[in-house]
Chain A
Amino acid sequence: MKQASSRQGGMPANWLGGLYRAGLVALLLFGMQGCATYSSSFGVIENNLITKQYDVALKNLDKQKDDKKEHVLYLLNKGMIERMKRDYSASNASFEAAKKEMDSLYAASVSENALSVMVNDSTVSYSGDSYERIMLHLYMALNYLELNDPGSARVEVLQIDEDMREFAEKSADKKKIEDAFALYLGGMIFEELGENSDAMISYRNAYNVYKKYQSDYGMAMPNELKSDLLRMAKRNGLNDEYRRYKAEFGMDVPAGNGADQGSLVFIFNNGLAPIKREKAINSMDPKSGTMVRIALPYYESRKNAAMAARVTVNSLQRNTELVENIDAVAKKNLDIHMPAIIARSVARMVVKAAANNRAKELARNNNNKDDQLLGMFGALALQVATVVTERADTRSWLTLPGNIQMASMMLAPGSYSMKVEVLGPGMQVLAAQDYPNIVVRKGHMTFVTQHYVTN
């Protein structure tokens, strides 16, 4: 009797008790989040890049256009693929849009962060990691250089400086986050514009950061920078500094750095940046019988057979040397963020376990047998949802190169044909490309970049 009346009259109160509440939350959680992580959806585009089908890659990328929380990444990837197909104006338009979007995400979202406590870190709009932000400016600067607009490239250099200061202020230890190649390129841009003292300062800062890279990543100081430092110190009349570099590097200003020549700078974007994967631990809380899960991201290097590139112009030949190891920088960056990621994950586990226990308790305490059963179903659905939604945030800028290399040569003014050969581990040639009509102007730098993706 009592049972029947409660079914008909007071249907919401008890009926909703278990199944409805817990189940609704479960449904909501499912609705929030697809089951695949961001990085696992990128394979198709990566294959397009390997086969150099840039237009197809852009078409495939366009499917991600409407993902609001990943819109910054969509724009970054778009800009990068556009510059792979040498459309530098379009690339800069995409990058500039990404920059705007990043700025609008400067303020932390209360609603998104609240949700991330219940679901996972991917509910927060991706605003770009600090090193990605610097790379964005760096590639915009390179685009402007290819468009023969060093004045605008200079603007990007100043923005890098501004951003580095902002990151330092935001970081816990107030330490300045510095990027060696961004500083080095800044020096080259100042030199190109005839601002010798600014160029000297940038080269010197790059030198200091490369020293840190030496101890952090075991990366050697680029020889190009050594000769730039020597030349610029000599030109600015910094004789003590010049002598110090001469002794430290065991070299002098290379011959043939004549004022009647121009230089050709080739920048080789090698492979792709590391990809974030998920590692998860699933475990049962023995006391309550509740499933708990922690999922954390880690970086996995992309496969890349290319070691360096060989640049040939007439009888001159140069091998590229490493100027930026993005693979290592990204991994180190994630290490820095890891304590916070773990802390958020643990907090989430506690919240989810508490919700699960509460749902079970409510179901168990229900006097009505049928409602109790329904309540248990609801609690189970919630349990499944809380575990399934616990996914690592594997978002990152995947079309960045794994590393950046550089080679430069001094040439008499004129038009040249440049040959670039990509070299494998045994120095065998993996691919070759010719660049006709490269114009070198007296006292100026000509920049050419290439992005090579292989597996």
Chain B
Amino acid sequence: MRFTSVMNFKVVALVVLALSMAGCGTSVKRMDTGEVKDLSGAWNDTDSQLVSKEMIDDVLSRDWIAEFKGEKKRKPAVIVGEMRNLSHEHINTSTFVQEMQRNLINSGKVKFVASATEREEIRGERADQDIHASEATRKAAGKEKGADFMLKGTINTIIDAASGDQVRFYQVNLTLISLVDNEIVWNGEKKIKKFVERSSLRF
């Protein structure tokens, strides 16, 4: 009987220990922003939205639009170039780019032209129309609108880690370059910093 009671005590102790462990998974504390749901600490939709919103607000509030309008008497046409992912994570840059593009178009302050891959598809359709579409609805080639500016950028990360904890530092840089003379008319930067704590024990 003594053996059993000792065993029972051990079992209870183990269960108590196990239950107390169950609470500590990976925990993420975000710095410098309000309420956000983070799971792994990796780049997510919130980061994408935050960055694109801030960038758009910035790019639309600068002088280059007014200067262009004053000179050319029309809205500038923008194209999205390459968004290079230089970070240590597989980041879907196309959703980020699309988010920016949508916000820019909806602002009504700039015009957007299709990207290189989209253009290929549309040209294919136009060539097809040339043969098959009726005279009245046919769209002629050579009437494309050329872009005035190209938007391109990079996503970078710096990671500092010690005993399972990490500080992840993301830096997004965007530049708007004039296609006429390679002049950089705008340079935007947004930084995000996250503290990721990883538990060293699980149940």
Interface on A for B, CB 8 Å cutoff?
13, 21, 96, 103, 106-111, 114, 151-152, 154-155, 158-159, 161-162, 165-166, 169, 358, 362
Contact = CB atoms under 8 A, between A and B. Distances in A.
Contacts of B203: 109-111
Contacts of A106: 164, 198, 200
A152 B89 CA distance: 9
A62 B40 CA distance: 28
6 contacts: A21-B4, A110-B203, A155-B89, A159-B88, A162-B88, A162-B159
A155 B17 contact: no
Nearest to A151: B85
Counting chain B residues whose Cβ lies within 8 A of the other chain, the interface size class is 20 to 34
B162 interface: yes
Interface in B1-39: 1, 3-4, 14, 17-18, 21, 25
A155 B85 contact: yes
B163 A169 contact: yes
Nearest to A92: B90
Given A107-B199, A155-B88, A162 B18 contact: no
Contact of A169 (B84, B161, B201): B161
Nearest to A160: B88
B161 A107 contact: no
Contacts of A362: 3
B87 to A, nearest CB: 7
A114 B162 CA distance: 27
Interface of B: 1, 3-4, 14, 17-18, 21, 25, 40, 84-90, 157, 159, 161-164, 198-203
B18 A169 contact: no
Contact of B202 (A108, A151, A155, A169): A108
B200 A151 contact: no
A31 B143 CA distance: 76
B21 A110 contact: yes
A107 B201 contact: yes
A154 B86 contact: yes
B87 A155 contact: yes
Contacts of B21: 110
Given A110-B17, A159-B88, A362-B3, A169 B200 contact: no
B40 to A, nearest CB: 8
A108 B200 contact: yes
B90 A152 contact: yes
Contacts of A111: 18, 203
Choose among B84, B90, B162 the residue with the greatest number of A CB atoms under 10 Å from its CB. B90
Contacts of B199: 107
A445 B18 CA distance: 53
Given A155-B88, A158-B88, A109 B202 contact: yes
Nearest to A125: B202
Nearest to A161: B88
A21 B2 CA distance: 13
Contacts of B87: 155, 158
Contacts of B4: 21
A159 B157 CA distance: 11
B202 A107 contact: yes
Contact of A114 (B14, B88, B159, B202): B14
Contacts of A158: 87-88, 157
Contacts of A103: 40
Given A21-B3, A151-B85, 6 more contacts: A109-B203, A110-B21, A154-B85, A155-B85, A155-B90, A166-B161
Nearest to B160: A165
Nearest to B202: A107
B5 to A, nearest CB: 13
A13 B203 CA distance: 33
Contacts of B90: 96, 152, 155
Contacts of B1: 13
A26 B191 CA distance: 59
A109 B84 CA distance: 39
A108 B90 CA distance: 26
B162 A110 contact: no
A110 B20 CA distance: 11
B153 to A, nearest CB: 14
Given A108-B202, A110-B203, A169 B162 contact: yes
A127 to B, nearest CB: 11
A159 B198 CA distance: 17
A119 B60 CA distance: 66
Given A162-B159, A169-B161, A110 B88 contact: no
B133 to A, nearest CB: 35
Contacts of A109: 201-203
Contacts of B88: 155, 158-159, 161-162
A162 B85 contact: no
A154 B161 CA distance: 20
B163 A107 contact: no
Contacts of A165: 161
Contacts of B198: 106-107
